[in-house]
Amino acid sequence: MTRRAALVALTLPVLPRVGLGAVLLALAVLAGVIVGETALPLRLVGDVLAVKLWGAERALDPIDAGILWSYRLPRTLVAAACGAGLALSGVVLQALVRNALADPYLLGVSAGAGAGAVSVALLGIGGGAIGLSAGAFGGATAAFVLVALLARAAGGGPAQLVLAGIAGSQLFNALTSFLIAKSANAEQARGLMFWLLGNLSGVRWPDVTMALPVVGAGFLVCLAHVRPLDAFSFGSGAAAALGIAVRRVQLVLIAAVTLMTATLVSLVGSIGFVGLVIPHAVRLLVGPRHARLVPASALAGAIFLIAADIASRVLIPGQVVPIGVVTALVGAPGFALILIRNRRRA
């Protein structure tokens, strides 16, 4: 009885906030769907949803309806998943390695993805049958395994993980540079760079069915570990003293983060700054406790990346700016502001 009462007491005050979050997210998705290279009327959203979800009969322009349903909606949903996943990964890694500069790409995942994609494109691995995505996923996983083994061999602490991540990233970035220098011409290099900087234009429904479940699962894993994550505030020794099975928790969380990041990088390239800046910004708003930080960062990351994607589509008419450029343009000054504010507080 007391347990149930406690559960109710816990969930009731949270409900309005969950509701508010859902409304904000829905508004962001709506904006992502109607704003773009070409303007779509708001009315079309209702019509298309009525036809697609309830099988209503409406006369729709096939191209407009297709753009909305097959391009914009999956793109916006994946942007949301991607923003949430990267922000969550940032939160988790910053807590686990106790380093404010930790970001989802810390463990070499993004460098590995780049090297994997470039290998596929330039070495002809897979003879054109394997897309860049598959190459990126393979590279990301390989890089992470290498980094993890290296960190383990070096002693296994958070500092070792960070150093191994740096070494792994350097190695894989060098490999990418080597491959590009060896065999790419400018046009290909440009294509690869464009892709590596992050690109949501190729997102379709199958990507949604990859991104949403992976990020959803990752979110649940993080949510289930908010107390362990708090317990890491004073280091892994203190966490262990608080009853946290440190090894297992690290393993589960890092696996979740790697899976999320590798999947997202392979779907849309490595979009920077979200995983670094969003957790810090959200900490300023809701504090360092992970029970709030985890859901708030996921929400903020999702909304931020939808907004960045909209900006990337409308900034230069008729042309799409790589979304990684937009996030960096917003993220770098944002990060500077956070640093300055933190200094004032300290």
Partner 1 sequence: MKIEARDLGWRNIVRGVSCEIRPGETFGLIGPNGSGKSTLLKLLAGLMPRAAGEVRLDDVPLGQLTRRQVAQRIAMVEQFADTGEALSVRDAVELGRTPWLSPLSPFGPEDTRIVDEALAAVDMTGMTKRPWSTLSGGERQRIHIARALAQQPRALILDEPTNHLDIHHQLALLGLVAALPVTVVMALHDLNQAMMCDRLGVMSEGRMVACGAPSDVLTPDTLGRIFRVRAMPMTDPEDGSTLFRFLPMEEPR
Partner 2 sequence: MPFPLSSALRGAVLLAAPLFCAFPALAQTEYPLHLSNCGVDLTFDAAPVRTVTVGQAATEILYALDLGDRVLGTSVWFSAVLPQFETVNAGVPRLADNDPSFESVVALRPDLVAVQYEWHIGPQGSVGTRDQFADLGIPTYTLPSDCEGKDNSVGSDGTRLAPYSIESLYQGIDELARIFDVPERGAALLDDLRAREEAAIDAARALDLGDASAVFWFSSAEMDIDPYVAGQGGAPAYMMEALGLRNIIDSNEEWPVVGWETIARANPTVIVLARMDRRRFEADDVERKLDFLRTDPVASQMDAVRHNRIVVLDAHGMDPSIRNIDALETLSAALAGLDLQ
Q: Name the residues that contact partner 2, by CB under 8 A.
A: 36-38, 62-63, 66-67, 69-72, 121-122, 124, 127-129, 131-133, 183-192, 194-195, 199, 201-204, 313, 318-320
Nearer to partner 2, 81 or 221 (CB): 81
Report residue 258 as tokens: 């790697």
CA distance 17 to 36: 30
Shorter beta-carbon distance to partner 1: residue 16 or 243: 243
Closest to partner 2 by CB, 11 vs 38, is: 38
Tell me the two tokens of residue 114.
């780049």
Tokens linked to 278: 């969003």
DSSP string, 35-94: -SSS---HHHHHHHHHHHHH-------HHHHHIIIIIIHHHHHHHHHHHHHHHHHHHHHH
Size of the site for partner 1 (CB under 8 A): 31
Within 13 Å and on the Cβ side, how many CA atoms surround 286?
A: 16
Q: What residue has token string 């290998």?
A: 119
What string of H, E and C letters represents the secondary structure of 19-30?
Answer: HHHHHHHHHHHH
| Per-residue binder mask for partner 1 (CB under 8 A), 248-287, x = binder | -----------------------------------x---x
| Half-sphere exposure at residue 70, Cβ-oriented, CA atoms within 13 angstroms | 6
- Interatomic CA distance for residues 137 and 113, integer angstroms: 6
- Cβ distance to partner 1 smaller for residue 126 or 288: 288
Q: Which stretch binds partner 1 (CB under 8 A): 205-213, 226-234, 255-263, 265-273?
A: 226-234
Return the one option of partner 1, partner 2, none that residue 213 interacts with (CB less than 5 to 8 A, by type). Answer: none
Identify which of residues 18 and 26 has a Cβ nearer to partner 1 in the complex. 18
227 is a site residue for partner 1 (CB under 8 A): yes
Cβ atoms within 10 A of the Cβ of 3, count?
7
CA distance 79 to 143: 24
- What does 160 bind: partner 1, partner 2, none (CB cut-off 5 to 8 Å by kind)? none
Report the candidate in 80, 70, 14 with the shortest Cα–Cα distance to residue 40.
70
For the bound state, the minimum distance from the C-beta of residue 226 to partner 1, rounded and expressed in Å, comes to 10
Q: Which is nearer to partner 1, 230 or 309 (CB)?
A: 230
Q: What does the binding site for partner 1 look like in residue numbers (CB under 8 A)?
A: 2-3, 6-7, 9-10, 98, 100, 224, 227-228, 230-231, 233-235, 237-238, 240-246, 283, 287-289, 345-346
